Amino acid sequence: MTKGTAIHFGAGNIGRGFIGPLLVEAGYHVIFADVNDTLINSLNNRQEYQVHFLEPRKRRPMTVSNYSGILSTNDSLIKAFANDEMRIVTTSVGIAVLPKIAPAIAKGIAARRKAGTKAALNIIACENGIGATEQLKEALLEDLSKEDKQYVEKYIGFANCAVDRIVPPFENQSSPLDQYQIEWSVDRKSLKGIGERETLGIRGMHLTDDLLGFVERKLFTLNCGHAIAAYLGYLKQCDTVFDSIKHKEISQIVEDAMNESSAALVKKHPIFTEKEQREYIEMCLDRFANPNVGDDVQRVGRDPLRKLSQNDRLLGPISMAQEYSLPITNLCYGVAAALLYDYQDDPQAVELQEKVDDLGIVGTITNITDFKQDCNEFKAILTAYHKLQKWRS
């Protein structure tokens, strides 16, 4: 049964491998909008592609069809917004790219208003980060007229979400996908056009009134452990997270860091019990150790400055633990490992190491973390940094 049309910005790993397939399976025609014309041409020429599951158990690949591709700069995309059948807009372009796609979405909304379309449209940014859809909304409001803003209030929902699926890069026109518990939790109250008990009819989308809990659980547990495994693995010259987690001293730090984060998480978000968090951590460790997921440490560790930002997976759990005066030693190892990340093909790693060269490590920790030099967190990061330096030599 057709449910209408969806536009998905970013036909990369999570777009083609996770969100796109869920929307297609739910009965939407998905328009993938991307800047990469080779990718768009290849999607249009193929008309279908496969998603295969990297789980230890065998499961049949899924065939994805009922989609089309369009360059995100193409004016037809703006026209597509005006269509009454257009119901949902999703993104997975990377959080820093959201301001770049905002003008096209703003033009699309203006076209929708001018066409007199009254059907609700929901926009969901599926990026790793807190409040990604909110950031997109703020960026696009700048481009809207007063009338468009009134229209937005009435008909356009902007819902934050947590998106959890490990999708390593595509190979040979098919998408590898890890098949553990999947999570696409969406803020129910921000959606438009659905009743109290209704859903958008998308299997795998979980509507919740406690979104922040789900976002922080994913970012501060799974992403936290994943990033620490990547940065520590990089120091030991591991190629993949799978290789990294085989080192006992790495898996211990990763597990202990996730435990430290969880101890604070269950206090802040009592919707999760300690038992559930223990099981969640087990599930994360299983995923990291899945031999079928050949996930490069450089992919998982990409953009270290973003990962070292205040509310992200490394400093976020430390602040949360500080609120309850809980231990943070292993989380500080994660921060220190990220500070040592010097992969030359990652522009943020290069920028980070230039900062270390300019400011010294004490100045860099101050600059990035905002911790005072005499506080425990600062000392723990500095101590861990000096210990981890020896891993490289």
Q: Which residues bind ligand F6P (CB under 6 A)?
A: 128, 166, 222-223, 226, 300, 302-303
DSSP SS3 for 193 = coil
Measured from the CB atom, the residue of 160 and 364 that comes closer to ligand NAI is: 160
97 touches ligand NAI by CB under 6 A = yes
Residue 272 interacting with ligand NAI (CB under 6 A): no
Shortest distance, CB of residue 18 to ligand F6P, whole angstroms?
Answer: 10
**CA gap 217, 214 in Å, rounded:** 5
**b/e burial code for range 80-94 (CB count within 10 A of at least 16 → b):** bbbeeebbbbbbbbb
Is residue 22 a contact residue for ligand NAI (CB under 6 A)? no
Rule CB under 6 A: choose which of 95, 123, 186, 224 binds ligand NAI.
95
Residue 355 CB-half CA count within 13 A:
20
| Measured distance CA(161)–CA(172) in Å, rounded | 30
Output the CA torsion 36→112→204→1 (10° steps): -100
Q: Is 72 in the site for ligand NAI (CB under 6 A)?
A: yes
Residue closest to ligand NAI when measured from CB atoms: 12
* Beta carbon nearer to ligand F6P, 54 or 191: 54
Q: Is 70 in the site for ligand NAI (CB under 6 A)?
A: no
Q: List all residues 6 or more positions away from 234 whose beta carbon is below 8 Å from its beta carbon.
A: 244, 297, 298, 301, 337, 341, 343
The answer to whether 100 contacts ligand NAI (rule: CB under 6 A) is yes
CB 352 within 8 A of CB 304: yes
Least CB distance from residue 376 to ligand NAI, whole Å? 30
Which of ligand NAI, ligand F6P, none is residue 36 near (CB under 5 to 8 Å by kind)? ligand NAI
Interface with ligand NAI includes 144 (CB under 6 A)?
A: no
Based on the shown chain and the rule CB under 6 A, indicate whether residue 165 belongs to the binding site for ligand NAI: yes
Token couple for 2: 């057709």
Residue spans of alpha helices (H) in 15-93: 20-25, 37-46, 75-82
Radius of gyration of the chain (CA): 21
Residue 275: phi and psi, rounded to 5, are -65, -45
**Lookup: tokens for 120:** 């609700």
Handedness of CA 302, 303, 305, 311 (dihedral sign): negative
Binding site partner of 222, from ligand NAI, ligand F6P, none, Cβ cut-off 5-8 A by kind: ligand F6P
Q: How far is CA 34 from CA 109, 145, 181, 239, in A?
A: 18, 26, 28, 29
Work out whether 94 is an interface residue with ligand NAI (CB under 6 A): yes
The answer to whether 152 contacts ligand NAI (rule: CB under 6 A) is: no
166 part of the interface to ligand NAI, by CB under 6 A: yes
Shortest reach from residue 371's CB to ligand F6P, in Å: 23
Q: Kindly tell me which of 51 and 384 has the beta carbon lying closer to ligand NAI.
A: 51
From the list ligand F6P, ligand NAI, none, partner contacted by residue 92 (C-beta under 5 to 8 A by kind):
ligand NAI
Residue 35 interacts with, from ligand F6P, ligand NAI, none (CB under 5-8 Å by kind): ligand NAI
Beta bridge partners of 186: 161, 207
Query: Applying CB under 6 A, which part among 22-30, 93-101, 230-238, 328-336 lies near ligand NAI?
Result: 93-101
Interface residue list for ligand NAI (CB under 6 A) = 9-15, 33-36, 39, 72, 92-95, 97, 100-101, 127-128, 163, 165-167
